[in-house]
């Protein structure tokens, strides 16, 4: 099975950025872009529903390393 030339890698819960980058390298990818995406949660106050950012999800886009 051929590997994709680009793939997204999410920094998992309890995983450091370095651990994610090492996982990418182990799978044969090098980081070419870092993105952050908000994880939202709903809060109900006085009958109203508000949305706030719970945390930021870090995502790396990896490019396949050619040998």
pLDDT tens per residue, range 1-52: 567 899 999 999 999 999 999 999 999 999 999 999 999 999 988 889 999 9
For residue 4, the model assigns a pLDDT of 80
Given a contact cutoff of 8 angstroms between Cβ atoms, the answer to whether 42 and 13 are in contact is no
H-type alpha helices, the chain: 17-26
For the cut 80, the answer to whether the pLDDT of residue 59 exceeds it is yes
Domain edges within the chain: 6-64
Q: Which of 59, 50, 49, 48 is nearest to 8 (CA)?
A: 59
Element (H, E) at 45: strand 29-45
Backbone angles phi, psi at 33, to 5 degrees: -160, 140
Q: What is the CA radius of gyration of the chain?
A: 16
Looking at the DSSP bridge assignments, the partners of residue 65 are: none
pTM of the model: 0.79
């Amino acid at each position: 099975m051929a590997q994709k030339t680009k793939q997204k890698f999410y920094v998992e819960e309890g995983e450091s950025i370095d651990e994610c980058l090492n996982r990418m390298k182990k799978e044969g990818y090098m980081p070419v872009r870092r993105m952050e995406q908000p994880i939202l949660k709903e809060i109900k106050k006085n009958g109203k529903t508000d949305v706030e950012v719970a945390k930021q999800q870090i995502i790396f886009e990896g490019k396949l390393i050619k040998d």
